[in-house]
């Protein structure tokens, strides 16, 4: 029994390898424009599909990420057109602004992941468990709050403080890496 | 640094955005703050980058040898487990569909891009996501056997699948041993299983409309919220809305690829794949069969399909008991139990129990008395049910017997309802 695996060979497979390598950065980019986990997941799927279909248009001499981000940006706006207004978080104009500013790359993403892993270990067990629980698939802040006898707002406040600790820890680790 | 926006207000709004839901007024406010200040957007990007990193963060999971589901097959195959990195995916091209993701997937055999669409595939455990060129998305949950039969169809011979068809597509087919299910632009789930008399297919429409084989008319339509079991028997097709005393439900099926699926503390589990006996177990028609071998199958949540469920149930009216045979006398000192909640039904778990051990299978000695918690919520697909570990002084044993003293009942059913009893998902036994 083995897991599925493939070796990049032809141009389409090369593109697939690029997509795989950039998947985390692309997901983060989409989430920054559409900060709703379920909607962002759907857009990532659709973006992958479009990238796959457009494989023939891709020029391997050009960097992959700007091309993929352009398509993702377009897919976010398409999703916005399809979704009812009350499901929108950001308006179209703001999405364009955010899209132009955020230039993710897989190297920075993997450095961030590495720093985050270390920073999580520096947290107290209690805080670490709380924040990891929050980010388990389909975890609900409401449910977590109920089992802890807290109001959702109070729990959200705690989570927010832990994220801030992580933010400054990660920032510090990344800046010392640079020097 | 001086800022041109109210950073504490933005922080408060971000907390709501990331953990809850912004009100309409808050959305207007955050849009205005972010639109008007580049520094505010930089603040936003920083917070969201960390949030995204936390979403893809996976605790280290030990990659361990994973046994085949059934003990009898253990001799025939050596298993290799591979926990694929989440967020990434294995993309196998083919003219019709691709494997666009998997979570803790273990396959029966190595599959190449060409094979994926040509030969039947077996997903032993974990989850896989197929995306068709048309945009149709299929989530498969192991154990599952399937074959991609065309650009508009899949044949599932065993296991669970959920299908999401974009609205502009008309007529995606999922073939089962009980006939063809046609999707009319929607989302639905199936659990393809069997009973002694023939195939049993559980179906539930999550959104939209589907067509299924029917009893008297050639086809029957099901709409959003409907759930039915399709029984293919010698007399023809029969449709039922309840089975084994419960309404058909696939509420616990994965509708999107789970991000994580972990099996903690598997290493050193002496009970894994070992034979288990019980004086009796719950066994009724339509594949409602829950034998004690499910207690050591390495499946840590209530999943499966008719005839192939992942947990053990005692007969109605009994808390039940079972005995694990470790096949040799060994020192043991710790037992972990995963309770059941009988899928979405929320009943039938063990409550109070005693554990006895024996070296010869004849003379048993009680080593502990314990209590298991009820599993109140249905965990998300891919997440193991909670477990409880019981420690005891090191003892030599070959046989470990668990005797239920009481069990949990359905919260809404009277205590006199005959349709209740004990049950358990998994037992793990460890050396001291």
* Cβ partners under 8 Å of residue A134, min gap 6: A141, A144, A159, B19, B54
Answer whether B107 sits within 8 Å of A12, measured CB to CB: no
Predicted confidence at residue B72, as pLDDT, reads: 26
Judging contacts by C-beta atoms under 8 Å, the chain A residues touching residue B77 are: 1
Instruction: Look at residue B39 and tell me whether its pLDDT is greater than 70.
Output: yes
Q: Which of A48-62, A149-163, B191-205, B418-432 has the lowest mean pLDDT?
A: A48-62
The alpha carbon torsion through B98, B101, B104, B107 (nearest 10 deg) reads 0
Q: How many CA atoms lie within 13 A of B253 on its CB side?
A: 30
- How close B192 comes to chain A (CA, Å)? 23
Fold category of B71-247 in CATH:
Jelly Rolls (2.60.120)
**Mean predicted confidence (pLDDT) in B56-60:** 65
Does residue A88 surpass a pLDDT of 70?
yes
User: B299 — contact with chain A (CB < 8 Å)?
Assistant: no
Tell me the nearest-neighbour CA distance from B251 into chain A, angstroms.
Answer: 14
DSSP B206-253: EESEEEEE-SSSSEEEEETT-EEEEEEETTEEEEESEETTEE---TTS
Residue A48: list chain B partners with CB under 8 A: 89, 91, 100, 131
pLDDT of residue A30: 94
Q: Going by DSSP bridges, is the β-strand pair B387-404/B321-338 parallel, antiparallel, or unpaired?
A: antiparallel
**Considering only residues 9 to 28 of chain A, which have any Cβ-Cβ distance to chain B shorter than 8 Å?**
12-13, 16, 19-21, 23-24, 27-28
pTM of the predicted protein model: 0.61
Give the pLDDT of residue B357.
Answer: 96
Q: What is the pLDDT of residue B77?
A: 22
What pLDDT does residue B393 have?
94
**Span B87-115, average pLDDT:** 63
| pLDDT mean over B272-292 | 92
Buried b or exposed e, range B96-126, using 16+ CB within 10 angstroms = bbbbbbbbbbbbbeebebeebbeeebbbbbb
**Partners of B237 in beta bridges:** B232
Neighbours of B167 (CB within 10 A): 11
Specify the higher pLDDT residue, B316 or B59.
B316
Preferred mutation among A137, A152, A173 to probe B, highest tally of B CBs within 10 A: A137
The answer for B 131-160 residues in CB contact with A (under 8 A) is 131, 133, 135, 137
- Integer Cα distance of B371 and B373 in angstroms: 7
Q: What is the pLDDT of residue B431?
A: 92
Q: Which residues 128-157 of A are in CB contact (within 8 Å) with B? A: 131-132, 134-139, 141, 143, 152, 155-157
> Is some CB atom of chain A closer than 8 A to the CB atom of B119?
no
Q: How confident is the model at residue B184 (pLDDT cuts 50, 70, 90)?
A: confident
What dotted CATH number matches A11-101? 1.10.1740.10
Instruction: Kindly state the percentage of chain B with pLDDT values over 70.
Output: 87
Subunit contact A2:B107, Cβ cutoff 8 A: yes
pLDDT at residue number A178: 55
Block residue for tokens 């997901």: A27
Domain B276-430 has CATH 2.40.30.10: no
The answer to whether the CB atoms of A31 and B48 lie below 8 A apart is: yes
Task: Assess whether pLDDT exceeds 60 at residue B112.
Answer: no
Judge: B57–A93 Cβ closer than 8 Å, yes or no. no
- Specify the CATH number for A106-178; select among 2.30.29.30, 1.10.10.10, 3.40.50.1370, 1.10.340.30: 1.10.10.10
Does residue B95 register a pLDDT over 60? no
Which residues in A lie closer than 8 A to residue B377 (C-beta atoms)? 143
Average pLDDT over residues B400-427: 90
Q: With cut-offs at 50, 70 and 90, classify the pLDDT of residue A70.
A: very high
Number of CB pairs, chain A paired with chain B, less than 8 A apart: 184
**DSSP states of B327-366:** EEEEEEEEEEEE---TGGG----B-EEEEEEESSSSS-EE
pLDDT of amino acid B215 = 76
pLDDT higher than threshold 60 for residue B74: no
Helix (H, G, I), strand (E, B) or coil at B142: strand
CB contact under 8 A, B91 and A16: yes
A68 - beta bridge partners? none
Contact A94/B at CB under 8 A:
yes
Tell me: the pLDDT tens digits for A101-145? 876 777 788 888 889 988 998 888 888 889 988 888 667 888 888
Q: Rounded CA gap, B399 and B272, in Å? A: 14
Which among B15, B42, B93 is the nearest to A157, CB-wise?
B15
CB contact under 8 A, A141 and B20: yes
Q: Do domains B71-247 and B276-430 have the same CATH topology?
A: yes
Of chain A residues 55-84, which have a CB less than 8 A from chain B? none
Q: Is the pLDDT of residue B97 over 90?
A: no
Instruction: Supply the ipTM of this predicted assembly.
Output: 0.89
The pLDDT score that the predictor gives to residue A10 is: 64
Task: List, in order, residues 6 or more apart from B29 with CB less than 8 Å away.
Answer: B9, B13
**B35 close to A (CB below 8 A):** yes
**Interchain CB distance below 8 Å, B54 and A23:** no
Per DSSP, A17 falls in state H
**Taking all residues of chain A, what is their mean pLDDT, rounded to a whole number?**
83
Distance of alpha carbon B339 from alpha carbon B255, whole angstroms: 24
At A5 the pLDDT is 43
Domain boundaries, chain A: 11-101, 106-178
Q: Please determine, for residue B205, whether its predicted confidence score (pLDDT) is greater than 90.
A: yes
Q: Which of A23, A156, A166 sits opposite B50 (nearest CB)?
A: A166
Structural domain spans, chain B: 7-56, 71-247, 276-430
B317 in Cβ contact with B423 (< 8 Å): no
Q: What is the pLDDT of residue B66?
A: 31
């Amino acid at each position: 029994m083995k897991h599925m695996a493939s070796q990049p060979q032809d141009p389409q497979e090369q593109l697939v390898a690029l997509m795989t390598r950039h998947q985390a950065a692309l997901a983060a980019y989409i989430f920054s424009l559409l900060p709703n986990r379920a909607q962002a997941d759907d857009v990532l799927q659709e973006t992958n599909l479009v990238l796959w279909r457009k494989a023939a248009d891709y020029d391997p001499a050009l960097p992959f990420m700007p091309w993929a981000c352009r398509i993702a940006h377009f897919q976010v706006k398409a999703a916005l057109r399809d979704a009812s207004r009350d499901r929108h978080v950001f308006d179209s104009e703001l999405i364009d602004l955010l899209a132009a500013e955020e230039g993710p790359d897989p190297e920075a993403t993997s450095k961030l992941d590495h720093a985050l892993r270390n920073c999580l270990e520096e947290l107290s067990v209690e805080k670490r468990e709380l924040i990891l629980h929050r980010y388990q698939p389909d975890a609900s802040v409401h449910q977590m709050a109920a089992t802890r006898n807290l109001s959702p707002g109070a729990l959200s406040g705690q989570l927010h403080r832990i994220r801030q600790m992580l933010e400054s820890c990660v920032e510090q680790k990344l800046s010392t890496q640079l020097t | 640094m001086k800022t041109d926006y109210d950073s504490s207000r933005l922080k408060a709004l971000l907390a709501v955005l990331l953990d809850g839901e912004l009100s309409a007024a808050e959305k207007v406010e955050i849009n205005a703050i972010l639109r008007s200040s580049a520094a505010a957007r930089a603040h936003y990007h920083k917070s969201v980058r960390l949030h995204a990193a936390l979403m893809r963060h996976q605790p280290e999971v030990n990659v361990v040898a994973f046994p085949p589901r059934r003990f009898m097959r253990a001799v025939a195959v050596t298993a290799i487990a591979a926990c694929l990195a989440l967020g990434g995916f294995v993309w196998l091209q083919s003219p019709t569909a691709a494997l666009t993701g998997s979570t803790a997937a273990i396959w029966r055999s190595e599959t190449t891009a060409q094979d994926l669409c040509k030969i039947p595939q077996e997903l032993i455990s974990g989850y896989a996501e197929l995306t068709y060129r048309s945009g149709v998305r299929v989530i498969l949950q192991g154990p599952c056997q399937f074959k991609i039969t065309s650009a508009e169809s899949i044949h599932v011979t065993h296991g669970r699948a959920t299908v999401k068809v974009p609205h502009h597509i008309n007529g995606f087919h999922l073939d089962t041993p009980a006939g063809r299910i046609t999707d009319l632009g929607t989302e639905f789930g199936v659990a393809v299983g069997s009973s002694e008399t023939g195939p049993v297919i559980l179906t539930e429409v999550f959104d939209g409309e589907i067509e299924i084989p029917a009893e008297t008319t050639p086809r029957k339509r099901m709409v959003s919220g409907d759930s039915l079991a399709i029984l293919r028997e010698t007399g023809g097709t029969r449709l039922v809305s309840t089975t084994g005393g419960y309404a058909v439900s696939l509420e616990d099926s994965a509708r999107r690829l789970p991000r994580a699926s972990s099996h903690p503390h598997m290493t050193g589990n002496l009970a894994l794949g070992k034979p288990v006996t019980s004086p009796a177990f719950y066994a009724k028609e339509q594949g409602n069969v829950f034998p004690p071998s499910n207690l050591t199958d390495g499946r840590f949540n209530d999943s499966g399909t008719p005839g192939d469920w992942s947990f053990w149930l005692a007969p109605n009216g009994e808390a039940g008991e079972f005995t694990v045979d470790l096949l040799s006398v060994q020192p043991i000192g710790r037992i972990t139990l995963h309770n059941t909640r009988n899928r979405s039904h929320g009943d039938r778990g063990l409550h109070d129990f005693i554990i006895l051990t024996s070296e010869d299978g004849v003379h048993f000695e009680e080593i502990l008395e314990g209590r298991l918690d009820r599993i109140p919520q249905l965990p998300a697909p891919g997440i193991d049910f909670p477990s409880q570990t019981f420690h005891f002084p090191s003892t030599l044993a070959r046989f470990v017997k668990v005797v239920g003293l009481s069990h949990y009942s359905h919260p809404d059913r009277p205590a006199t309802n005959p349709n209740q009893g004990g049950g358990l998902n998994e037992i793990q036994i460890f050396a001291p």
